[in-house]
Amino acid sequence: MRVEVDSSKCQGHNRCMIFAPDVFEVDDYGFATVRADGEIPPEQIEAVKHAVVNCPELAIIVRED
C-alpha cells in the first residue's frame, strides 16, 4: 500500500501528522508531505487510515498496489 498527499488540496491542517507522525511531515509552508517513498509499513496502516479519514480536505490518497 502506498500513500500520497494531493498538494492541491492540502491546506495545512496537519491532522495527518498528528495521527501518523512516522508517515507524514509538514514542509516549511505548513503543508503535508509523505516521508520516505510513500510505501506504508504494515504497522503504520492503521495510523494512515486514521489520518485519511481525519483530513478535512480529503487530500490523502491511499493506493493498493
Partner 1 sequence: MSGGSDVLIVGGGLAGCTVAGQLAQAGRAGDVTIFEAEPEAPYDRPPLTKSFLASEDLLSAWPVWAPRDVEWRYDAVDSIDLARRAIVTRSGEVLTASTIVIAVGARARILPQRSDRIRTIRTAADARVLRDQVASGANRFLIEGAGPLGLEIASTLASAGVRVTVVDPAPAPMMRLLGGHLSDDVNAWAEESGVELLLGCRVTESHDTDSPTGVLARIGDGPLEAYDGMVSAVGIEANPLELHGTTGPVTSPILADEHGRILDPEGLPIDSVFAVGDIVGFRQPDGSIARSEAWSSARVQGEAIARHLLGKPSLQAPVPYFWTRQFGRMIQVLGEVGPGSEIKVAREVPGATGKLYRVARDGVPVGYIGVNAQRLVAQLQVQGGKLAHWRLGDV
Q: Site residues (CB under 8 A) for partner 1?
A: 11-15, 17-18, 21, 26-31, 49, 52-56, 58, 60
List 54's β-bridge partners, or say none: none
Q: How far is the CB of 40 from partner 1 (least distance, A)?
A: 16
Alpha-carbon distance of 1 to 19, in angstroms, equals: 18
Q: How far is the CB of 45 from partner 1 (least distance, A)?
A: 11
* Residue 25, H or E segment: strand 24-26
Residue position matching grid coordinates 481525519 = 54
**Closer by beta carbon to partner 1, 38 or else 62:** 62
